[in-house]
Chains A and B, each alone.
Chain A
Amino acid sequence: MTETGPRPRTRRFEAMASSTAATGEALFALEDLAVSYGDFQAIGGVTMNISPNEITAFIGPSGCGKTTLLRCLNRMNDLIDSARVEGSVRYHGVDLYGPRIDPVEVRRRIGMVFQKANPFPKSIYDNIAFGPRVAGYSGDLDDLVEESLIRAALWDEVKGKLRDFAPSLSGGQQQRLCIARAIATSPDVVLMDEPCSALDPIATLKIEELMLQLKKDYTIVIVTHNMQQAARVSDRTAFFTVDVADEGSRTGRLVEFDDTGVIFTTPREKATEDYITGRFG
């Protein structure tokens, strides 16, 4: 991984990152996690561990809170005034919502790729270089840009046109550019929120192949409406559903979390089976 400048606040995470990999412990440990927006509880009662260097998929019907949960993992919900997080999220054993944790630093360590590719209206090169520059990166930016694009399986397609306007790339290329941008700041986790929902099947398979390569170096958590995608790429799958109360309020709930092979061949819960076989959802 590319060397970055000193970041005192993250030394604690990084020191723990190596110990997490060595002991096979959970990278994220969620306990009785609940997220509300004002009076509306989007999801509740989530207890689960996410392992390092694996792809964990969140699947479930609309409104089950899977994206809300994903956004808890890098404190993106902080950006919404009414959002309230209860329970705990431990990252490398550290309370992610603890008083001395800097959310900006959290988001550098835990990057995110969104549903719609959102390249900056700048050159391909500047899209990648932007984050490291802001963070005061002291190494060779050209090398970092190249390495990030290689890791994102985009280098061969853009190496001769790094100064081209990024939004002129195809949808699939833009999304891989966003992945390259996310990994340029040396995160150890990449969160992906429906990264392929706007892509054609071939571009989708390219992103999936990329994810399978990236998991050697990063931990990936993906939210997807496409359960076949979860089946194809993930190591572990969490199925969420939505409970509707008498008064009509809807709250997401974790139904089952297991090895993806188990979920798609012999799920324990009938609700999971009904959803993945298309009988409910």
Chain B
Amino acid sequence: MSPADEIRHHFDETLDAILRGTVELGALVHENLHRTTEAVLESQLEVAQQALDADDEIDARYAALEHRVFEVMARQQPVAGDLRFLVAMTRVLYEIERSGDLAVNMAKGLIRREGYTLPAGVHSLLARMARESAHLFQRGLDALADLDAAAGPVLDEADDVVDELVGEFYAAIAARSDDMGFDIAVELSRVGRYMERIADHAVNIAEHVTFIVTGSFPEEDSVATGDEN
């Protein structure tokens, strides 16, 4: 530890705790993403309900962490890397919390279309899409935990895989929309949208990490943008 670190030991501990807490929050969301995916693929309404319940804990932790960051900014007058870290963390927390909400939306959709069985082709595409999306989300969290500045551009590229799968998924729904009926087709295309957005949030997390470490975003035009709803 350098002398500079020792001087503000308590402050450094606080920043570490915020990073740790945020990664843990991300792990809870990742776990819930698995839960909702399992619920949707296996048509398990009970598991879907568990995912809804788990989101309360996620929301509470999110609110507490956001408040902590807010208070540290007010009390510690952060500058330079500390300021970049704290400002970026407010955004990272948002990306994580939104991802959790999207996972929950997927569970709610399952509850709404209770009794409907996914056609085999749609089922397998959904499984692949959800797996890739969750995997990307995990890589975003890894980048955060390691403060890996190089991950931003890498994840941005990896996101193409998810986007392609989502495209295929939409096409599969369109091909069967007459059999499914309008409501089910809309519900399922929403699931595609959620998976796409979760992957975008993962890319955003990694790009915020690049900003924390280097002071600039990977590339202006590669930043995932847009609204998820």
Contacts and interface: CB of A to CB of B under 8 A. Distances in A.
Contacts of B70: 265
Contacts of A202: 7
Nearest to A259: B71
Contacts of A205: 7-8
A265 to B, nearest CB: 5
Interface string A228-245: 100110000000000000
A206 B76 CA distance: 14
A261 B10 contact: no
B155 to A, nearest CB: 34
Nearest to B7: A205
Contacts of B8: 205, 209
A169 interface: no
Nearest to A212: B10
B74 A264 contact: yes
Contact of A231 (B7, B10, B75): B75
Interface residues of A, number: 12
Report whether over half of chain B's contact residues are helix, strand or loop; otherwise say mixed: helix
Interface string A78-109: 00000000000000000000000000000000
B7 A206 contact: yes
Contacts of B77: 228, 231-232
A260 interface: yes
B7 A265 contact: no
The residue in B74, B75, B77 that gathers the most chain A C-beta atoms within 10 A of its C-beta is B75
A205 B8 CA distance: 7
B91 interface: no
A209 B75 contact: no
Interface in B23-58: none
Interface in B1-24: 6-11
B17 to A, nearest CB: 15
Contact of B76 (A209, A212, A232): A232
A216 to B, nearest CB: 12
B124 to A, nearest CB: 50
B7 A261 contact: no
Nearest to A203: B7
Contacts of A209: 6-10
A265 B10 CA distance: 20
A202 B70 CA distance: 24
B7 A232 contact: no
Contacts of A261: 71, 74-75
Contacts of B71: 261, 264-265
Nearest to A276: B74
A232 B9 CA distance: 12
Interface in A189-227: 202, 205-206, 209, 212
22 contacts: A205-B7, A205-B8, A206-B7, A209-B6, A209-B7, A209-B8, A209-B10, A212-B10, A228-B77, A231-B74, A231-B76, A232-B75, A232-B76, A232-B77, A260-B75, A261-B71, A261-B74, A261-B75, A264-B71, A264-B74, A265-B71, A265-B74
Per CB-CB distance, the 9 closest pairs between chain A and chain B, nearest first, are A231-B75, A264-B74, A261-B71, A212-B10, A265-B74, A205-B7, A228-B77, A264-B75, A265-B71
Given A205-B7, A231-B76, A232-B11, 10 more contacts: A202-B7, A212-B10, A231-B75, A232-B75, A232-B77, A260-B75, A264-B71, A264-B74, A265-B71, A265-B74
